[in-house]
Structure 1
């Protein structure tokens, strides 16, 4: 928060207005996975899922995958989760899923959105959809007419890394948070599945664990930086102008560029070191904005980051045991 003291004179009497905080209301984006029943007539899950499906305005792909990794939702298989994500990501004429992602991001970033990258990511995700469909259909062993999981997972990893600059943007990176969490979580899900698929029980450990361990390290490091960067950046968009002892009054004026919001508080002038009703006006506003933003980050990124951290403990251990083969069954390096 930037604080500016304008000028001073002397004073008496006070008028103080309340700061009204808000979160931009958005309409929930609801998508039911095909042919799946309601539970008691209610779909109550936040994120793409198989048995209960409510994709709120954000999409929540990263959140849902994190819950899957934590075994907190009733997905029977990775394949069923992928089918739900594919269904959620597919363009629908009646509603634009990615517009809802933008609406969600606007709660923290307002109009400070990397529109170019957001549009490019929407296009890229359609390409990624094709690879996810291929992976969902692939088996551990190829029948000669269709690639195996090992081959498709390699294509997905190459693609995600090559396009990482879109979600890990240099310009307004906070506005890419939801897409970063979505794609990083999908990539993590694929790497974990392929690592487990090609690890022989009681035998050789697939080298995919090394790749998973490396990518988790990258995603966790970036997520920690992004959370801190978002709060720091958000604070720079709040200004507090203080007009001290002007005609006997002190006036504090908050301007929030993200929320396009202005609020003021006026009090009888107080001497230095004394506190009046408006003394904490700016600090309280910033505290509440930070609290809201931390809650948003927790849901859209923090939950996923925590599960990546837990998974990395397993990946660390397995990577130390990994052979030089990605597919020990065929000895493919």
Structure 2
């Protein structure tokens, strides 16, 4: 994880920076109280109280004025190193108080930043060498209970080893934290209040997992867009089918109406045909009757003709008689 003084607001990196500053502030306040207690037991009450109070107050001032920045990380680290150095000075270099060095180095892991760790290691190295030489010069400074440059170098070697291991851990942890932050940002970008937004092309990611997820989401967006387009086509086709169904229903109603009219006409035709059949039967009966009447009429005509023939014969006979009478009358 690289150190930077410009951390975006509401980012995971800023949250970690704020948490680290809070942890270092609490450590500084506890170390300030511890300095007063150590000074009391080692007959340096004024140095313990004043030094502890001054360094703790400075830590509080840094936290409340510049928390979450690179400056606050480095300043709080420097003040915590100074408090541990004060403990060693108050205890006249007793080795037990050197454990504060390793405690501080461990606390700095909370930042997931190599810069405070490297700064603390450098400050402790300078402190140990400088105070050991000042102690050897008899100037009233303490690193160990007695000057011993070889032991100081041994302590410094352990600090260097711990620093190297912590930096390696911090690089790996920082990479994972960055990856987690990028994934969290991607999830936040996808999970919108009004729905899910698969377009994450605007997010800048560098971790392999985040890049893989971004690529997957972009492919999903392409698929969803294709599905939406297909859905739109289906909706259009459905609307056309619905209109076709409506037209078909309208035509079916018209056909049904026509069928009803046709059925009614067929019934009328059937009724007419029945009536025609009845009329035909009646006409047939009348024709038979007429034929009988005609036959009887023919017989009557025949009889009339025979009668007329008889009348004709009678007329001739009468004519002959009249002629005979006329002849007789003429003769007389």
TM-score by length of 2: 0.30
Give the greater-gyration-radius structure (CA).
Answer: 2
Work out which structure has the larger RCO, using CA pairs closer than 8 Å and 6 or more positions apart in sequence: 1
Please identify which structure carries the higher helix content: 2
Please identify which structure carries the higher strand content: 1
TM-score by length of 1: 0.30
